[in-house]
């Protein structure tokens, strides 16, 4: 049993509305809520700051950024996980599905990358079990269809790992995210310092991988999601035909559809659409695809992901609130909606009995600034 913590004089972001009130935390859950600006004796006076459910992140590449802080620089796994965990806590994120790549390229010219998923998963699970992580970490396997070792790497995971999400990623150039191959060339050559000839050889190699392994790897990914009880996500769907295929596979989440047509098709099939918060903040996609703001205006944006900038998640939720003139609705894209999509019923809302995963923030114009973060009732930032 723990002493209750009362957070008072806050603007509570509830389902569909924002009200002034207080919230009591006890034994890691929300034990009481009340309206009004009163500050009871011993309570923490939030001075009118916003109090929202902790943010839920379903797809982030941030851990990989900590693993390789510079090109050709490898960082120790535990140190990377710890830095990633602390950074997310400071951004108001209290639940994260750490995206770990499965499927490696170990031959051919150009960019190669080796196996790491099983070892990384073991480290995350061990640190979580030992209580070394500040926020709630779950596993998301990013299955690289265009790779050489995907099936073998998927087979290393079992029910005991608690895999939450598996996404099908096909980064073969000339389609999906990189339908414009010039965007792919600028990205790959800039990141890996390839010459024009080296890039051309790399593209031919990737085409060969897709032709050799694509169908088998896609089938294996779907089978693994079923075997592991994971939510299945598509990635970078571009056409209604691709969305229809995803729906046939049992996909319920569409990560970063690249066109209005794909987003409309997702809506028609009941597939939740995830868009990148950096896309919204920057005003467009860095790959030249559909802008998140366009989908928001069409009511075809369900969930936001910070993707590669953790701090963007809260910023973009507030921005959506301004676009829709409804802050509660904007915040739901980073709280209620992702929690429900991942099957988490104990978080994502300010309600009695829910986990006390909370973020306190203030606004400077349209810029959100995190003031406090609580994970299961414990202040972690």
Q: What is the domain extent for residue 266?
A: 54-348
The pLDDT of residue 179 = 63
263 found inside a domain: yes
Instruction: Give yes or no for residue 189 having a pLDDT over 70.
Output: no
**Is residue 298 a part of any domain in this protein?**
yes
In the chain, % of residues over pLDDT 70: 92
Residue 105 is predicted with a pLDDT of 86
The pTM for the full model equals 0.92
DSSP conformation letters of 81-119:
HHHHHHHHHHTTEEEEEEEEEE--B-SSSS--B---HHH
pLDDT higher than threshold 70 for residue 190: no
Q: Answer yes or no: is 374 within a domain.
A: no
* 3-state helix/strand/coil string of 112-172: CECCCHHHHHHHHHHHHHCCCCCCEEEEEEEEECCCCCHHHHHCCCCHHHCEEEEEEECCC
Question: How many domains, in total, are found in the chain?
Answer: 1
- CA–centroid distance for 122 within its chain: 20
pLDDT at 176: 67
Please check whether residue 335 lies inside any domain of the structure. Answer: yes
Q: Give the containing element (helix H, strand E) for 371.
A: strand 367-375
Q: Are 84 and 308 in contact, with CB atoms under 8 Å apart?
A: no
Decide if 237 contacts 246 (C-beta within 8 A). yes
Our CA dihedral for 205, 100, 121, 118, rounded to 10 degrees, sits at: -10
**Average predicted confidence (pLDDT) for the chain:** 93
Tokens 């990205």 locate to 187
The per-residue pLDDT for range 257-287, each reduced to its tens digit, is 999 999 999 999 999 999 999 999 999 887 7
Q: How confident is the model at residue 87 (pLDDT cuts 50, 70, 90)?
A: very high
CATH number at residue 325: 3.20.20.140
Answer whether residue 363 is part of any domain: no
Q: For residue range 303-331, what is the model confidence (pLDDT) as tens digits?
A: 999 999 999 999 999 999 999 999 999 99
254 within domain boundaries: yes
| Per-residue confidence (pLDDT) for residue 146, from 0 to 100 | 87
Determine, yes or no, domain membership for 40: no
DSSP letter, residue 54: P
Nearest CA among 280, 269, 245 for reference residue 170? 245
CA 159/CA 167 separation, integer angstroms: 17
Q: Does position 360 have pLDDT exceeding 60, yes or no?
A: yes
| DSSP string computed for 198-262 | HHHHHHHHHHHHHHHHHHHHHHHHHHHHHHHTPEEEEES--SHHHHHHHHHHT--EEES--SHHH
- Does some domain include residue 329? yes
128-180 pLDDT, tens per residue?
999 999 999 999 999 999 899 999 999 999 999 999 999 999 877 656 666 66
Angle between helices 260-269 and 240-249 (to 10 degrees): 30
What pLDDT shows up at residue 113?
75
Q: How confident is the model at residue 187 (pLDDT cuts 50, 70, 90)?
A: low
């Amino acid at each position: 049993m723990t002493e209750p913590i009362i957070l008072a004089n806050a603007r509570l972001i509830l389902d569909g509305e924002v009200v002034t009130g207080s919230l009591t935390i006890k034994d890691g859950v929300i034990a009481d809520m009340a309206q009004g600006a009163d500050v009871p004796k011993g309570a923490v006076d939030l001075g009118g700051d916003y109090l929202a459910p902790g943010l839920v992140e379903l797809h982030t590449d941030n851990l990989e950024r900590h693993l390789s802080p510079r090109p050709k620089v490898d960082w120790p796994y535990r140190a990377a996980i710890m830095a990633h965990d602390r950074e997310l806590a400071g951004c108001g994120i209290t639940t994260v599905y750490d995206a770990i790549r499965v499927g490696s390229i170990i031959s051919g010219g150009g960019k190669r990358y080796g196996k790491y998923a099983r070892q990384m998963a073991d480290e995350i699970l061990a640190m979580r079990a030992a209580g070394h992580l500040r926020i709630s970490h779950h596993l998301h396997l990013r299955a690289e269809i265009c790779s050489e070792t995907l099936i073998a790497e998927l087979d290393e995971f079992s029910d005991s790992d608690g895999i939450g999400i598996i996404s099908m990623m096909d980064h073969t150039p000339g389609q999906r995210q990189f339908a414009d191959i010039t965007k792919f060339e600028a990205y790959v050559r800039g990141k890996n310092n390839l010459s024009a000839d080296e890039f051309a050889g790399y593209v031919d190699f990737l085409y060969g991988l897709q032709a050799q392994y694509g169908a088998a790897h896609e089938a294996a990914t779907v089978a693994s999601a079923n075997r592991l009880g994971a939510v299945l996500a598509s990635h970078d769907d571009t056409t209604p035909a691709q969305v229809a295929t995803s729906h046939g596979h049992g996909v319920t989440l569409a990560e970063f559809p690249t066109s209005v047509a794909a987003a409309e098709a997702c809506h028609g099939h009941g597939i939740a659409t995830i868009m990148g918060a950096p896309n919204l903040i920057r005003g467009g996609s860095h790959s030249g695809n559909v802008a998140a703001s366009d989908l928001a205006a069409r009511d075809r944006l369900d969930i936001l992901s910070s993707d590669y900038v953790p701090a963007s998640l809260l910023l973009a939720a507030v921005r959506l609130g301004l676009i829709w003139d409804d802050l509660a609705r904007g915040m739901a894209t980073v709280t209620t909606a992702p929690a429900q999509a991942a099957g988490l019923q104990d978080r994502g809302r300010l309600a009695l009995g829910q986990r006390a995963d909370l973020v306190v923030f203030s606004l400077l114009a349209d810029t959100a600034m995190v003031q406090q973060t609580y994970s299961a009732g414990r202040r972690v930032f």
